[in-house]
Amino acid sequence: MIDNVCNKHGSKKIWVKDRSRSRGGKWRCRECARESSRKWKHSNPGMNLIHRKDWVNKNIQRVREYNKSYSMMWRVKNPERSKEYAAGYNKLNPNVKRESGARRRARKTDSTCHYCNGAGYYAAAIGTCYVCENRPATQTDHVMPLAVGGRHCEINFRGICPGCNKAKYCTVWPGHPDWHDFLLSRRT
């Protein structure tokens, strides 16, 4: 007969799964089971990582829901620290901030929005301004603005100087391939 009380901790024993045993488990108290689990994890760090990855892959939806709810609760409890972290992240990753803002503006105008990395911005900014064609292009511009239905993709980026970018603001300049379509859509 199995004694139901642990001699070491004095608590009730439970059936604990153990793959190394022929019957698949052993009677232990919770504290003894935790100790043996810690010892096994410490002596087998590679296997522990594999088991954790397998569990996460099998329960990915559950993990995502937990992470989402935990992060939302943390943001509610720590609004100042959340703002500090967001400001630090945005400072270190200005391209990501710029991309998310452009995608948000594109969604607001129901225009098509494609993911593009920062390389598209920088590649467009090499050379001279596409408007005045004599000053160096230090900024990038959506030729067909998002606010009037332009696409957020590398095809719609052009290098532009700050003066022309400020003057252009949110308009379509003649000479753009979509200019005639834009005019026709404005007339109807």
Beta strands (DSSP E) in 139-186 are: 139-142, 157-160
Residues 144-179: pLDDT tens digits? 787 777 777 777 777 888 888 888 777 776 655 555
Q: CA dist 20 to 24, 44, 71, 125, Å?
A: 7, 14, 38, 63
The pLDDT of residue 1 is 44
User: What amino acid is encoded at 29 in this protein?
Assistant: C
Torsion angle in degrees (nearest 10) through CA of 178, 179, 185, 188 = -160
The phi-psi region of residue 133 (left if phi > 0; otherwise alpha if psi is between -120 and 50; otherwise beta) is left
pTM attached to this predicted model: 0.38
Query: CB neighbours of 104 closer than 8 A, spacing ≥ 6?
Result: none
The pLDDT of residue 77 is 94
Bridge partners for 14 per DSSP: 28
The pLDDT of residue 83 is 93
- Per DSSP, the three-state class of 108 is helix
The pLDDT of residue 187 is 46
Torsion angle in degrees (nearest 10) through CA of 178, 160, 147, 108 = 120
The pLDDT of residue 186 is 46
The answer to whether the beta carbons of residues 147 and 171 sit under 8 Å apart is no
Domain boundaries, given as residue ranges, for the chain: 61-92, 94-175
Counting as low any pLDDT under 50, the low residues of the chain are 1, 183, 186-188
**Class of residue 39 by CB neighbours under 10 A (exposed 0-12, middle 13-18, buried 19+):** exposed
